[in-house]
Amino acid sequence: MSRSSTVLFSMALGLLLAGAPVIAEASMSEKSVHSFTLRTIDGQPKSLADYKGKVLLIVNTASRCGFTGQYKGLEELYGRYKDRGFEVLAFPANDFLNQEPGSDAEIKEFCSLKYRTTFPVFSKISVKGSKADPLYVWLTTESGHNGPIKWNFNKFLVAPDGRVVARYDSQVDPLSSKLVQDLESVLPDTRGE
């Protein structure tokens, strides 16, 4: 065993004997949104670590849902705050009554033509069940805002350090006063620049 390995082992043993949490638990709490890589709507891998320092609103979307009109509010919110370090990240999913049946190309065309979206849209994923993407497994079980995704357009507000700070159900409009207030509370203050 090398000297550095011996030192690490001794430190870990000391922490365990002192009643500190198990090291594996500590590493779980260090995980954040920035720990995941997904595919863009064009099929390219995209590390969410690229968004470090930005406030994110992660949304599972669908093109044929009663809440699909929220794309308009998401785009307006994005336009209002993108220059202050805000990003909307849309994750199309076909988990609820076949409301996102299209291919990635069809979804991209729908979003750009119907709602003129300019925020990042990712490749279609699953957000629940045994085929859920690891990001959504983490969001719904380890983010501190746990619970299953019950429908399209659930929203997770993420602070610049990758921690989830709020969650909103489908009924919460992207321009609701509560969501906007929460968003403004975690945006970097750029007034003095």
The pTM of this model reads: 0.83
Question: pLDDT tens for residues 124-157?
Answer: 999 999 999 999 999 999 999 999 999 999 999 9
Of 19 and 58, which is predicted with more confidence? 58
Indicate if 65 belongs to the active site. yes
Strand partners, 91: 60
Is 100 strand, coil or helix? Answer: coil
Task: Say yes or no to pLDDT of 54 above 70.
Answer: yes
Per the residue annotation, which of 65, 165, 180, 187 is the catalytic one?
65
Would you tell me how many other CB atoms lie within 10 Å of the CB of residue 46? 18
Question: pLDDT tens for residues 96-107?
Answer: 999 999 999 999
Domains of the chain: 1-30 (no CATH), 32-186 (3.40.30.10)
- Where does the pLDDT of residue 87 fall: very low under 50, low under 70, confident under 90, or very high at 90 and above? very high
